[in-house]
Amino acid sequence: MAPPSPTPVRLHRGMLFSPAAPDRLVAVEDGCLGVSAGGRVAAAGEYAEIAAHHPQAPVTDWRPAAILPGLVDLHSHIPQYVAMAMDGYDLLPWLERFIYPTEAAFADPRHARETSRRFFAAALACGTTTSLLYATVHAEGTRMAFRAAEEAGVRAAIGKVMMDRNAPAELLEETSASLTEADALCAEWNGAAEGRLRYAFTPRFAITCSAGLMRGVAGLAADHGALIQTHLAENPDELRTVAGLFPEAPHYTGVYADAGLLGPSTVMAHCLYLSDGEWDLLGESGTRVAHCAGSNFFLRSGVFDMGQAKRRGIAVGLGTDVGAGPSLSLFDEMESACFASRARYALERAAASRLGAMRGEFGRLPGGADLLASVLSRLELDDSVALVDPVQAFYLATLGGAQALGMADEIGSLEPGKWADFVVVRPPVIDAASPEEGRTPREVLSQIIYRTEPSAILATFVAGAERHRRTA
Ligand code: GUN
Ligand code: ZN
């Protein structure tokens, strides 16, 4: 039986939005969030009802602003914050040109501390309360990132990047030193700050990690019960390089499977170029996926196929993937996820139309008509599966991300007993002449997703404590 909800010591009044399921939204127009002394949600629902039960509780009236659960960023890179939005390259040359030099600067702990501070302040200003993050290969720099997260009061899982091959000399590690340092950092930080901080083992990707390093990571993560994060199948050149480095592996996902890295504690970022068999492996192992639509557009990487994940019930969340992603805001990322699903849909329809135009040529082949029918049936033409709408994007950026982190009982929605992590957002006024009255909650949410600037985020709370307040 669930424990009784604690008594609220403060009521926050505004329009409430909370995800209930991937395609189900709970919205309360004159809503109220009651927060307990311990920073939990004590009540969430109609203002009149909750206020009548708790007449002694002080009220913060945020109207006409809306109250949403704190957003969950399932994939981003702290050091890359300062190198965001440098366009013109695909993944591998972009890493060489901008990212490795930027990450090398984390050798200076003061730079690491300052950058991390600014990163967390900016994330809170965007309404993000929980993040899964990469630091760099530097143990001290990673420690600084944890300290900054602790000071900012956010929830975060952070990992020291691990690279024992195919990286610039100043970022290259010995396999055993990499494992020893990560082990020590995990012992130091996993569960720190009253459980707000967790450690995530972070082998960067198969190109920069030997099989021995990845196997070592799997062992350590299991020993500590810690998270694992890495990148999977983001870019065709990356795929070719991985195939050359691991000629025995059946495919890219197989490289990680052989190392023991798949499972419910692992978050794979991107997952753009996977066969059906690889998707099956992710589904069967319970591996989580970070969908990074903005980054995928920015680095010209490709377009995620949400239908593959949905059909297998794979836990998916959204990642800003800064600096490949050009924004630290999950509001921008929700918009990108909606657009990516439309891009995917358009691509599949274009493929179907081209194949349809070749019907005559197929017809001349023995069995050609059947072959064509089979190929067409594999295209993702069912918009109810493939399309991400604002309600679904909102789920992905909140409860979906929480579920991917194994934290769905604690965060991700505004429900009694969960942590009171929330963001207060002024719904956009599209134009003085456009009516604000009479919008349905879904319409308001849609406008919030497509039109929220950081200046519309009035305040961000973690465990009931205000961690960001708009100043101007
Ligand atoms: N693959 C390996 N490293 C990175 C990185 O830093 N960013 C992105 N987008 N992909 C990667
Ligand atoms: Zn990344």
Task: Transcribe 413-446 into DSSP letters.
Answer: S--TTSB--EEEE------TTS--TT--HHHHHH
Any atom of ligand 1 within 6 Å of the Cβ of 321:
yes
Based on its alpha-carbon atoms, the radius of gyration of the chain, rounded to whole angstroms, reads 23
386 has pLDDT over 90: no
Query: What is the 324 CA–ligand 2 centroid distance (Å)?
Result: 7
Nearest ligand 1 atom to the CA of 80 is 6
In terms of Cβ atoms closer than 10 Å to its own Cβ (0-12, 13-18, 19+), residue 51 is: middle
Are the C-beta atoms of 409 and 195 separated by less than 8 Å?
Answer: no
Write down the pLDDT at residue 39: 98
Any atom of ligand 1 within 6 Å of the Cβ of 75:
no
Among the residue ranges 147-151, 152-156, 177-181, 362-366, the one predicted with the least confidence is: 362-366
What is d(CA 356, CA 358) in angstroms, rounded to the nearest whole number?
Answer: 5
Tell me: do 140 and 182 sit in the same domain: yes
What is d(CA 27, CA 1) in angstroms, rounded to the nearest whole number?
Answer: 26
Q: Show the tokens assigned to 366.
A: 């023995």
Q: pTM of the prediction?
A: 0.97
Closest-CA residue to 445 (of 14, 18, 139, 125): 18
- Of the residues 294, 315, 337, the one at which a domain ends: 337
Write down the pLDDT at residue 384: 67
Residue 98 per-residue DSSP state: I
What is d(CA 387, CA 338) in angstroms, rounded to the nearest whole number?
Answer: 7
Q: Show the tokens assigned to 226.
A: 């810690």
The arithmetic mean of pLDDT across residues 163-183, rounded, is 98
Are the C-beta atoms of 458 and 64 separated by less than 8 Å?
Answer: no
Range of the domain at 44: 9-69+412-469
Q: Which helix (H) or strand (E) holds 194?
A: none
Write down the pLDDT at residue 377: 85
To test the ligand 1 pocket, which listed residue (94, 99, 166, 232) has its Cβ within 8 A of the most ligand atoms? Answer: 99
Are the C-beta atoms of 44 and 31 separated by less than 8 Å?
Answer: yes
**Residue at 316: amino acid letter:** V
432 has pLDDT over 80: no
Residue 359, domain member (yes or no): no
**Dmax of the chain from CA atoms?**
80
Nearest ligand 1 atom to the CA of 205 is 2
**Residue at 249: amino acid letter:** A
Label residue 177 by pLDDT band (50, 70, 90): very high
Are the C-beta atoms of 287 and 263 separated by less than 8 Å?
Answer: yes
Q: What count of other Cβ atoms lies within 10 Å of the Cβ of residue 240?
A: 11
- Of the residues 337, 371, 392, the one at which a domain ends: 337
Tell me: do 188 and 303 sit in the same domain: yes
Any atom of ligand 1 within 6 Å of the Cβ of 91:
yes
Q: Which helix (H) or strand (E) holds 246?
A: none
Alpha carbon 280 to its chain's center = 21
What is d(CA 282, CA 277) in angstroms, rounded to the nearest whole number?
Answer: 9
Q: What 3-state class would DSSP assign to 251?
A: coil
Q: Mind listing the pLDDT tens digit for each residue in 291-338? A: 999 999 999 999 999 999 999 999 999 999 999 999 999 999 999 999
CA distances from 251 to 5, 199, 214, 402 (A): 49, 28, 16, 29
To test the ligand 1 pocket, which listed residue (73, 234, 295) has its Cβ within 8 A of the most ligand atoms? Answer: 234
What is d(CA 34, CA 12) in angstroms, rounded to the nearest whole number?
Answer: 6
Write the CB contacts of 340 (distance below 8 Å, at least 6 apart in sequence).
291, 293, 296, 297, 303, 304, 306, 388
Query: What is the 28 CA–ligand 2 centroid distance (Å)?
Result: 36
Residue 363, domain member (yes or no): no
Number of domains comprising the chain: 2
The arithmetic mean of pLDDT across residues 400-415, rounded, is 98
Tell me: do 65 and 97 sit in the same domain: no
Tell me: do 127 and 157 sit in the same domain: yes
Q: Mind listing the pLDDT tens digit for each residue in 204-234? A: 999 999 999 999 999 999 999 999 999 999 9
The arithmetic mean of pLDDT across residues 57-77, rounded, is 98
CA distances from 112 to 85, 246, 253 (A): 20, 34, 32
Query: What is the 126 CA–ligand 2 centroid distance (Å)?
Result: 19
Nearest ligand 1 atom to the CA of 301 is 9
Q: Give me the CATH number covering residue 452.
A: 2.30.40.10
Q: For 289-406, where are the alpha helices, taking DSSP H only?
A: 293-298, 306-312, 330-357, 359-364, 368-378, 383-386, 390-395, 401-404
Closest-CA residue to 68 (of 412, 310, 328): 412
The arithmetic mean of pLDDT across residues 66-77, rounded, is 98
What is d(CA 320, CA 302) in angstroms, rounded to the nearest whole number?
Answer: 15
Mean pLDDT of the chain: 95
The arithmetic mean of pLDDT across residues 14-42, rounded, is 97
Tell me: do 65 and 100 sit in the same domain: no
360 has pLDDT over 50: yes
What is d(CA 91, CA 32) in angstroms, rounded to the nearest whole number?
Answer: 45
435 has pLDDT over 80: no
Whose alpha carbon is nearest atom 1 of ligand 1?
A: 231
Write down the pLDDT at residue 424: 98
Q: Give me the CATH number covering residue 213.
A: 3.20.20.140
Q: How would DSSP label each residue in 280-296?
A: HHHHHHT-EEEE-HHHH
- Of the residues 337, 353, 374, the one at which a domain ends: 337
What is d(CA 270, CA 293) in angstroms, rounded to the nearest whole number?
Answer: 8
Write down the pLDDT at residue 1: 46
Q: Which helix (H) or strand (E) holds 250?
A: none
Q: Mind listing the pLDDT tens digit for each residue in 258-277? A: 999 999 999 999 999 999 99
Tokens 């030099």 belong to 101
What is d(CA 33, CA 21) in angstroms, rounded to the nearest whole number?
Answer: 20
Q: What 3-state class would DSSP assign to 268?
A: strand
Residue 368, domain member (yes or no): no
Tell me: do 48 and 142 sit in the same domain: no
Q: For 193-275, where are the alpha helices, taking DSSP H only?
A: 211-224, 236-245, 252-258
Q: What percentage of the chain carries pLDDT values higher than 90?
A: 87
Tell me: do 129 and 258 sit in the same domain: yes
Could you tell me which residues are beta bridge partners of residue 21?
24
Residue 211, domain member (yes or no): yes
